[in-house]
């Protein structure tokens, strides 16, 4: 992509309009790289610096929770109406309740990575069918932006904290894998509001 094309993308609505992340493999890496570069540039603009997620020692700037909520609300009714297994919850209290600040960095990084690599990736074809691709792309793009800025510590003294956060994530993943894949994807997407509500506790102005 040449510089003039980059400038053209940058000028749209004050924030880059990125191609969907979840595309066929031959173009996915380049599209994702371009999108992420533009989003990271945008996050460094004046006005974006005062808004950030602070997950313990980790932080992510340039993300507006309202945009995430708007994207979810656009698909909420569709996703939750398709969830017929009301007795199961993936993001239950044992996963998200009383998470320490130190744990939060590891946990959110792992959850967002799972949503990107498993949930959004496997649900991509359905988003085209039900015409919700734009909303899911907005969520995915912002999840990438947040995750790319988080740098969980790998120091030995942080092992107990990493282990605690990992155990929480395993509870979520175990519940996900106990369901049929289609049902699990639907439920995970229908619970994005639970994830966003928890994440917003760590949002600083």
Quick one: which of 17, 53, 12 has its CA closest to 34? Answer: 17
Return d(Cα 120, Cα 17) in angstroms, integer: 19
Q: What is the sign, positive or negative, of the torsion defined by CA atoms of 75, 116, 95, 86? A: positive
Domain assignment present for residue 153? The answer is yes
| pLDDT band of 129, cuts 50, 70, 90 | low
For 60, phi and psi rounded to 5 degrees? -135, 125
Q: Is residue 42 part of a domain?
A: no
| Residues paired with 157 in a beta bridge | none
| In a domain? residue 100 | yes
CATH number of 56's domain = 1.20.1250.10
For residue 155, give its domain range. 50-204
Give domain status of residue 14, yes or no: no
Is there a domain that residue 17 lies in? no
Q: Is residue 4 part of a domain?
A: no
Q: What is the pLDDT of residues 47-73, one digit of tens each?
A: 444 589 999 999 999 999 999 999 999
pTM: 0.74
User: Structural domain tally of the chain?
Assistant: 1
For residue 137, tell me if it sits in a domain.
yes
Q: Give the CA angle between residues 75, 78, 81 to the nearest 5°.
A: 140
* pLDDT per residue as tens digits for the range 136-168: 889 999 999 999 999 888 776 688 999 999 999
């Amino acid at each position: 992509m040449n510089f003039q094309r980059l400038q053209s993308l940058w000028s749209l609505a004050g924030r880059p309009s990125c191609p969907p992340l979840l595309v066929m493999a031959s173009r996915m890496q380049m599209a994702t790289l371009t999108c992420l570069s533009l989003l990271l540039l945008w996050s460094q603009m004046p006005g974006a610096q005062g808004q950030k997620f602070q997950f313990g020692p980790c932080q992510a700037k340039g993300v507006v929770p309202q945009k995430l909520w708007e994207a979810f609300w656009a698909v909420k009714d569709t996703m939750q109406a398709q969830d017929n297994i009301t007795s199961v919850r993936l993001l239950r209290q044992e996963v998200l309740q009383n998470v320490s600040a130190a744990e939060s960095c590891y946990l959110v990084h792992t959850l967002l990575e799972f949503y990107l690599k498993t949930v959004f990736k496997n649900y991509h074809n359905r988003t085209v069918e039900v015409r919700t691709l734009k909303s899911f792309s907005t969520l995915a793009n912002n999840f990438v932006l947040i995750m790319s800025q988080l740098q969980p510590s790998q120091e030995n003294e942080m092992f107990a904290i990493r282990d605690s956060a990992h155990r929480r994530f395993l509870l979520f993943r175990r519940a996900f894998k106990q369901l049929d894949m289609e049902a699990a994807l639907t439920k995970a997407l229908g619970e994005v509001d639970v994830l966003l509500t928890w994440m917003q506790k760590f949002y600083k102005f």
